[in-house]
A = this chain, B = another copy of it.
């Protein structure tokens, strides 16, 4: 969800600028973990309502709908670490991806529990333990890694080309 459907960096950069008056240059945080790049991250994610304001990733609403028409889609998020985020995340999904039923959603603490044929994620920790095909969604925190054990995708257009054409 975060970093694949939800454009979290977009929101984090805006919030950091609002709070500090300074705009972070994306180039300067490449390779940093989100919490390293944004010192206030833990305060933000523990604030009720925070996740409701997340922008959606470009083209994700349309492409996920097409995937959902063709495949059995599950949306999963490592969200139990932040209890207040749970309700907000489900409501956010229902608002922006209304074709994803509550039956297709999994909030968890470890994605090793998930079985499926293909996982799209921005974190190696989630993809490395997945039994099935994997797509690494490019985000600033993983941009500088050049390893090749997961196929990298840069956008939902690339996912569309790979899985729907």
> Which residues of A are at the interface with B, using a C-beta cutoff of 8 A?
74, 80-81, 83-87, 89-91, 94, 101-110, 113-116
CA distance A106 to B105 in the complex (A): 10
**Nearest-CB distance from A5 to chain B (Å)?**
15
CA distance A115 to B74 in the complex (A): 15
In the complex with contacts A84-B87, A86-B90, A87-B86, A113-B102 CB distance below 8 A: no
Question: Chain B contacts of A113 at CB under 8 A?
Answer: 74, 106, 113-116
**Number of this chain's copies in the complex:** 2
CA distance A109 to B104 in the complex (A): 6
Contact A80 B102 (CB under 8 A): yes
**Nearest-CB distance from A111 to chain B (Å)?**
10
Contact B81 A102 (CB under 8 A): yes
In the complex with contacts A84-B87, A86-B87, A107-B104 CB distance below 8 A: no
Question: Chain B contacts of A81 at CB under 8 A?
Answer: 102-103
Question: Chain B contacts of A108 at CB under 8 A?
Answer: 105-108
Best-surrounded residue of A84, A86, A110 (most CB of chain B within 10 A): A86
A-B contact pairs, 7 of them (CB 8 A): A80-B106, A101-B109, A103-B110, A106-B108, A107-B107, A107-B108, A113-B116
Contact A80 B109 (CB under 8 A): no
Question: Chain B contacts of A103 at CB under 8 A?
Answer: 80-81, 109-110
